Amino acid sequence: MIALAFNLNVLTRDLSLYLENHVRVGLFGSGVGLSLVLGFGAAYACYYLISVAKKPQLIAGGKKFCQFLREQCPVVSETYYPTFWCWESRVQTLLRPFVTAKPGVSYRNELIKAADGGQISLDWFDNDGSAAHPDPSTRPTVLLLPGLTGTSRESYILHMVQQSRELGYRCVVFNNRGVSGEKLLTPRTYCAANTEDLEAVIAHIQSANAAAPLMAAGVSMGGMMLANYLGRKGRETCLRGVVVFSAGWDVFECTASLEKPLDRFLFNSYLTSCLQASVDRHRPVLEKLFDIDYVMKAKTVRQFDERFTSIMFGYQTNEDYYRDASPIHRLKSVQVPMLCLNAADDVFSPNHAFPVEAVKQNPNVALLITDHGGHIGFLEGIWPWRSTYMDRVFRQFAKAVIEQGSSLRDL
């Protein structure tokens, strides 16, 4: 309370001096307007500091992992101060692509063959100028998985590449089939439940850099795919650790949330159109097996999945697909350290579906929940163009896993 009173006093004093120096006439000249502005400013600051800016909740299944995070990743214990003028969930989600900078990154593209004859596009940032890890054979590698329709050019991916560059690590971005400009060679794209392409990518990276430590980070659907992969593989993976951002844990609940009128208007229709655009771009290959005109008439992500995704991957019903794609059912089998960051106000991943109880039962998993942040938002600072709370979580966890990860063995 002392700190709160001090903050309010400082705010009131600075605002008063500003208005006295810059506003001389009109309503403020009588003092009435000045009092109103000061009162509103103090009330808003009080509300922000009490109700908006809060420490995140850290839930972990084991004391060892929890202690490791608090010691090596202090960000998990620090108050998260969302940008004061855009802390609301939908505003954070919508603004992030526009207000955050896009660091300059030059990739080296590689196309690898998949078992079905298709091709997978990987974008490498080799970081050959790394002073911390000059030997490329042992340079730590971070595998990055973008969201549903994302590529290596998304701002959140570029920020993680930038953080990795500063740490001296190499990055490789796994672009899902058909989304980054490459030709679709077979009538198959991707989904959150199928991890075959991810397994092939991890095996390829490991074979090319066998002596280099490897960890992964997934965002939204990329995080869901990573969680499902870890749940299937258990300890049979070379990944030293995983961090997941804004994952949808129960697909039924996620789609239901996005079908509410406002969120359908703001997000669902746009996502559906992006998915349809990708399908239409590869129409010559896909129309051999699918009714593309029917797919193009879908109005929601659920309708798109019913008409395309679930059929492509051989599910009897869309419900079967959604059940298989929901990572909440596989968390109990995760056997490597995994940190998950979600915002309680994320409309893509409603907080009542967070896997709190499942996390408590697994010593390898931790869930970090902020009150605000939206979906892949986590904006902070007065003008949040340089870095976000999510970026800081990524940087600290990546460094901890790569450099101190030996202490996490046998959780």
Q: Are 325 and 316 in contact (CB under 8 A)?
A: no
**Partners of 173 in beta bridges:** 123, 144
Which candidate in 164, 220, 310, 326 is catalytic? 220
Output phi, psi for 136, to 5 deg.
-65, -25
Angle (nearest 5°) at CA 166 between 163 and 168 = 110
Taking the C-alpha atoms of 193, 196, 202 and 205 in order, what is their torsion angle to the nearest 10 degrees?
Answer: -140
What's the rounded Cα separation, in Å, for the pair 300 and 297?
9
250, 346, 371, 391: which one is catalytic? 346
Residue at token pair 């961090």: 243
Block residue for tokens 């620090």:
78
Q: Which two tokens stand for residue 9?
A: 């006093």
Query: Residues 302, 100, 348, CA angle at the centre, nearest 5°?
Result: 20
Beta strands in 62-163 (DSSP E): 108-113, 119-125, 141-145
Rounded Cα distance between 174 and 33, Å, is 56
Specify burial of residue 352 (Cβ count, 10 A radius: 0-12, 13-18, 19+).
exposed
H-assigned helices in 103-208:
155-167, 196-208
Name the one residue in this structure whose structure tokens are 């030709």: 183
According to DSSP, residue 177 is labeled T
CA 322 to CA 250: how far, in whole Å? Answer: 8
Which of 205, 246, 255 has its CA nearest to residue 369? Answer: 246
Q: Is the dihedral of CA 2, 5, 10, 13 positive or negative?
A: negative
Quick one: which of 387, 337, 108, 353 has its CA closest to 217?
Answer: 337
Residue of 121, 310, 375, 387 marked catalytic? 375
The answer to whether 346 is a known catalytic residue is yes
Query: Of 342, 343, 396, 333, which is closest to residue 363 (Cα–Cα)?
Result: 333
Q: Which of 201, 148, 195, 199 is nearest to 173 (CA)?
A: 201
Q: Is 46 exposed, middle or buried (0-12, 13-18, 19+ CB in 10 A)?
A: middle
Catalytic residues, by residue number, are 220, 346, 375
